[in-house]
Structure formats: structure tokens, C-alpha cells
């Protein structure tokens, strides 16, 4: 019975070590240092604004009693601006 020919398999190239720190090249974009803290800060502030409004709306009317239900719009606006900053994340 005839034997089949064996294939010569190419050996995979050795992988580069992952321990090297990534350095930004001149053409690469880098996140500004202020982006992450401002982005998270706005989202947390908006959430805190809405929670404060819901917890105190019956008694105190906080955070700003004069604008009433528009406090929800302010809170959601802060959250939306925070999410808008996520589009700049690279």
C-alpha cells in the first residue's frame, strides 16, 4: 500500500514579549490626563444630582428648589455630557 507524503509544517514565529511598556508614536493619539476624571466625575455628579432630587423632593426640594422637575434634566444633562466625553477616549 502506498504511503502518503507528509507535509512540512512551517514553524510559528516567536511571539514578542508583552512586558514592554507601550510608548505612543508621533502619529498615535493619546488621551489627555483630564479626560477620565472629568468623564467619570460628570457621570457620578449627574447620578448624585438625580438621587438627591428624588430623596429630598417631597420635603426640601433640593438640589435647586426653584427649578422643580428640571432638576432631572440637569442631572441627565450632566450624565449625557459625561457619556459624550467617552467618544474622545482612544
pLDDT tens sequence across 23-66: 666 767 888 999 999 999 999 999 999 999 888 876 676 788 88
In a domain? residue 1? no
The per-residue pLDDT for 27 is 66
Provide the number of structural domains found in the chain: 1
In a domain? residue 67? yes
Assess whether pLDDT exceeds 70 at residue 16.
Answer: no
Count of CB atoms situated within 10 Å of the CB of 42: 19
In a domain? residue 15? no
Does an H or E element contain 50, and which? Answer: helix 35-56
In a domain? residue 47? yes
**Separation of alpha carbons 2 and 4, rounded Å:** 7
User: How close are the terminal C-alpha atoms of the chain, in Å?
Assistant: 61
Q: Is the pTM of this model over 0.75?
A: no
In a domain? residue 43? yes
22 or 8, which is more confident = 8
Assess whether pLDDT exceeds 70 at residue 79.
Answer: yes
- Cis ω for the linkage preceding 63 (within 30 of 0): yes
Amino acid at each position: 500500500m502506498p504511503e502518503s507524503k507528509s507535509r512540512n509544517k512551517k514553524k510559528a514565529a516567536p511571539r514578542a514579549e508583552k512586558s514592554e511598556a507601550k510608548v505612543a508614536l508621533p502619529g498615535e493619539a493619546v488621551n489627555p490626563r483630564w479626560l477620565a476624571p472629568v468623564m467619570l466625575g460628570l457621570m457620578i455628579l449627574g447620578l448624585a444630582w438625580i438621587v438627591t432630587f428624588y430623596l429630598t423632593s417631597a420635603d426640601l426640594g433640593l438640589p435647586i428648589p426653584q427649578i422643580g422637575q428640571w432638576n432631572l434634566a440637569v442631572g441627565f444633562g450632566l450624565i449625557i455630557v459625561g457619556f459624550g466625553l467617552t467618544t474622545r477616549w482612544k
